[in-house]
Chains A and B, each alone.
Chain A
Amino acid sequence: MDPRTPWQALTRGDYLRGGWPWRSAGYLASGALVGATVLALLLVLAAFSLLLVGVPLLLLTGVALGGVERRRLRLVDADPAADPHRIPDAPGLTAWLRVRVREQATWRELAYALLHGLVLWPLELLAVAVALGAPLALLATPLLLALDGHEVRVLKGPLLASYPAAFAAAVCGLLLLPALLYPLGALAGARAALTRLLLAPRDTELRLRIGEVTRSRARLVAAFEAERRRIERDLHDGAQQRLVALTMTLGLARLDAPPGPLADQLARAHDEAGRVLTELRELIHGIHPQVLTDFGLGAALTDAADRSAVPVDTGIDLPRLPPPVESAAYFAACEALANVGKHSGAARARLTARHADGLLRMEVEDDGRGGADPAAATAGRGGTPGGTGLTGLADRIAVLDGRLTIISPNGGPTVLRVEIPCQALCG
């Protein structure tokens, strides 16, 4: 277990041999550099803020510094600090500002910028100067004496004029250096803890982030649905209508053609066009079944059961439900029925769907050999029954706060259950 912070490193015997003392020194020294820059910026902005334009720039400085400091923290902290900010809903500076001004994290960052720029960085610089500068100056005493030839002043203090005394000072420096590296590490650890306290996300902010991720996932699913509908409509209004017109033309041509090789070729072309039309119809139905839009989940599930390769008994009694729920449940049922046909070796399946007490419950049960792996179904490792196809569906259902459960002991029966909380639509 490697130490993750200077404090953890300090408690171990090999602190001096590792990189931690130098990482600590680097952290504090770079902090001083950043702090000096921030101070300069703050002074400039203070002048500007009389003209009001400085206020948003001040915020910007805080936010920018927060980003820099969270990155710099990696020098002395193995755990990255996450960004506490929310992603603005709309592009543009105004939207960005509106979100940032409302966030507690922004103001914490500004406080940090003031604290660091006005108070902390000179102290850090001093600490580094004392902990590294003093021992190094002592170590250099003999060399300085040799350069000067007469005498040398040690640390603005006593004058030394002899080599033994100079070497004694060097030995002191050698002993002082490790002794001072310990407090330096402790200070860097304290400084890192302060940064984390002010700049890392708080629990509430993390919860907001999770809510945001959930919402954006829901938006993705909705966008995906809309895209499916658009493709379906484009195919229906374009290629499908043209093909119908083509088969009509070919049908008429066949009636006109005298018997012979030409009529035979026309017949072949006509049949082929008919087959293409059938395939296209199935394809379009697979992309977005219009029966789902027009008649709802109940009719669409009945239809899916009709199409199944394995005979399916149905027990379906459903009102109209919100479109996203109908869509997710329908595709889950289709996937489940396809898996029954492909993997289970079942002779019969049963599809039930009910809506009661604000919950849609749908089950697909088969009498096959079971052994479908729910972990594979939800983790998406393909190649097993119920593999990758169900992963996306589990995601879609999760977006709606629903659950997809698979119970499949070896030897069967397999039950796939979908539960989605939703209210029935009126009418």
Chain B
Amino acid sequence: MPSPLRIVLAEDSVLLREGLTGLLGRFGHEVVAAVGDAAAMQGAVAEHDPDVVVTDVRMPPGFRDEGLRAAVALRAERPALPVLVLSQYVQRAYAAELLESGDGTGVGYLLKDRIGQVEEFLDALTRVAAGGTVVDPEVVRQLLRRHRDPLAALTPREREVLGLVAEGHSNGAIARRLTVTEAAVGKHIGNILGKLDLPPADDTHRRVLAVLAFLRA
């Protein structure tokens, strides 16, 4: 059981707001504020200083991408604040925008469908709160279906590994999933970073850069 999180939740649909509050509460997390629009979310964050913010993309007043914009603005103010964005869109542009805010750690872009897979959802939330980078498997799947450079240089196995990195899994988890050694996963990631021509940096940052390259390709 991961440690309980203090959460600010922004979602304009009352039905989902109540549902999510109930679900998170049931697994020991505390929703310190549940609000219905982006401006209220920024106020609640300032007031409660939560461990993680969970927000919808589309909220009043304009019902466009106010939630995403507010999340990006929050990250600019507080780069260390973890933010999980819930969305109805399988479009990488949203995820890329989010990952480019701050240093790309402690952010997640999940489809709302994922809430129904309760354990997966809570797992992603925990990883984001711990500073991980999570992109929804469905978005990753769509990206892996492409046959385009600059990812063309990657082998199928490397693409698979990159997809799992994007979904936010650790090297250990990826190794278990692909039934290879953790060292082999590390080697794959090294090759991927080399092929994507990414500058040397610490491991976390390079992983984020790889995911970004993946989203932007």
- Give the distance to chain A from B24, nearest Cβ to Cβ, in Å: 11
Chain A residue at smallest Cβ distance from B22: A252
Task: Tell me whether A281 and B88 are in contact (CB under 8 A).
Answer: yes
Task: Tell me whether A244 and B146 are in contact (CB under 8 A).
Answer: no
Whether, in the assembled complex, A215 has its beta carbon less than 8 Å from a beta carbon of chain B, the answer is no
Q: Give the contact stretch, choosing among A1-9, A299-307, A334-342.
A: A299-307
Task: Tell me whether A303 and B92 are in contact (CB under 8 A).
Answer: yes
**Which of chain B's residues have a CB closer than 8 A to the CB of A233?**
63
Q: Which residues in chain A, 264-299, are within 8 Å of chain B measured between CB atoms? A: 270, 273-274, 277-278, 281, 284-285, 289-291, 293-295, 299
Contact of A295 among B93, B112, B149 (CB under 8 A): B93
Contact of A294 among B64, B112, B116 (CB under 8 A): B64
Interface mask (B100-137 → A, CB under 8 Å = 1, otherwise 0) = 00000000000111011111000000000000000000
Whether, in the assembled complex, A248 has its beta carbon less than 8 Å from a beta carbon of chain B, the answer is yes
Whether, in the assembled complex, B148 has its beta carbon less than 8 Å from a beta carbon of chain A, the answer is yes
Whether, in the assembled complex, B91 has its beta carbon less than 8 Å from a beta carbon of chain A, the answer is yes
How far apart sit A306 and B116, CA to CA, in the bound complex (Å)? 26
**Which of chain A's residues have a CB closer than 8 A to the CB of B58?**
236, 290
**Which of chain B's residues have a CB closer than 8 A to the CB of A153?**
none
Contact of A244 among B16, B91, B118, B147 (CB under 8 A): B16
Task: Tell me whether A247 and B116 are in contact (CB under 8 A).
Answer: yes
Task: Tell me whether A249 and B88 are in contact (CB under 8 A).
Answer: no
Task: Tell me whether A236 and B88 are in contact (CB under 8 A).
Answer: yes
**Which of chain B's residues have a CB closer than 8 A to the CB of A311?**
146-148
Chain A residue at smallest Cβ distance from B66: A294
- Give the distance to chain B from A270, nearest Cβ to Cβ, in Å: 7
Whether, in the assembled complex, A151 has its beta carbon less than 8 Å from a beta carbon of chain B, the answer is no
Given A233-B63, A245-B15; A306-B89 close (CB under 8 Å): no
Whether, in the assembled complex, A241 has its beta carbon less than 8 Å from a beta carbon of chain B, the answer is yes
How far apart sit A53 and B147, CA to CA, in the bound complex (Å)? 76
Given A245-B16, A248-B118, A252-B26; A299-B146 close (CB under 8 Å): no
- Give the distance to chain B from A49, nearest Cβ to Cβ, in Å: 57
**Which of chain B's residues have a CB closer than 8 A to the CB of A303?**
91-93
- Give the distance to chain B from A60, nearest Cβ to Cβ, in Å: 49
A: contact size bracket: 35 or more
How far apart sit A307 and B148, CA to CA, in the bound complex (Å)? 12
- Give the distance to chain B from A348, nearest Cβ to Cβ, in Å: 8
Whether, in the assembled complex, B65 has its beta carbon less than 8 Å from a beta carbon of chain A, the answer is yes
Task: Tell me whether B19 and A248 are in contact (CB under 8 A).
Answer: yes
Whether, in the assembled complex, B40 has its beta carbon less than 8 Å from a beta carbon of chain A, the answer is no
- Give the distance to chain A from B198, nearest Cβ to Cβ, in Å: 21
Whether, in the assembled complex, A240 has its beta carbon less than 8 Å from a beta carbon of chain B, the answer is yes
Task: Tell me whether B142 and A306 are in contact (CB under 8 A).
Answer: yes
Interface centre among A237, A241, A289, A311 (most CB of B within 10 A): A241
Chain B residue at smallest Cβ distance from A242: B15
Task: Tell me whether B116 and A244 are in contact (CB under 8 A).
Answer: yes
Whether, in the assembled complex, A251 has its beta carbon less than 8 Å from a beta carbon of chain B, the answer is yes
Interface mask (B138-173 → A, CB under 8 Å = 1, otherwise 0) = 000011011111000000000000000000000000
Q: Which residues in chain A, 135-170, are within 8 Å of chain B measured between CB atoms? A: none
Interface mask (A239-260 → B, CB under 8 Å = 1, otherwise 0) = 0111011011111101100000
Task: Tell me whether A291 and B89 are in contact (CB under 8 A).
Answer: yes
Chain B residue at smallest Cβ distance from A253: B118
Given A306-B142, A307-B142; A252-B23 close (CB under 8 Å): yes
- Give the distance to chain B from A246, nearest Cβ to Cβ, in Å: 8
Task: Tell me whether B148 and A313 are in contact (CB under 8 A).
Answer: yes
**Which of chain A's residues have a CB closer than 8 A to the CB of B113?**
244, 247, 274, 277-278, 281
Chain B residue at smallest Cβ distance from A310: B147
How far apart sit A254 and B112, CA to CA, in the bound complex (Å)? 18
Chain B residue at smallest Cβ distance from A275: B113
Task: Tell me whether A306 and B88 are in contact (CB under 8 A).
Answer: no
Q: Which residues in chain A, 200-257, are within 8 Å of chain B measured between CB atoms? A: 233, 236-237, 240-242, 244-245, 247-252, 254-255
How far apart sit A182 and B65, CA to CA, in the bound complex (Å)? 79
How far apart sit A255 and B94, CA to CA, in the bound complex (Å)? 31
**Which of chain B's residues have a CB closer than 8 A to the CB of A270?**
116
Whether, in the assembled complex, B32 has its beta carbon less than 8 Å from a beta carbon of chain A, the answer is no
Task: Tell me whether B116 and A274 are in contact (CB under 8 A).
Answer: yes
Sort A-B residue pairs by CB-CB distance and give the 6 closest, nearest first.
A247-B116, A299-B93, A311-B147, A294-B65, A251-B116, A291-B91
**Interface, chain B (partner A; CB < 8 A):** 13, 15-16, 19-20, 23, 26, 58, 63-65, 68, 88-94, 97, 111-113, 115-119, 142-143, 145-149
20 extra interface residue pairs, beta carbon distance < 8 Å, beyond A244-B16, A248-B118: A236-B58, A251-B115, A252-B118, A270-B116, A273-B116, A274-B116, A274-B117, A278-B113, A281-B88, A281-B90, A281-B111, A281-B113, A285-B90, A294-B68, A295-B94, A303-B92, A305-B146, A311-B146, A313-B149, A314-B148
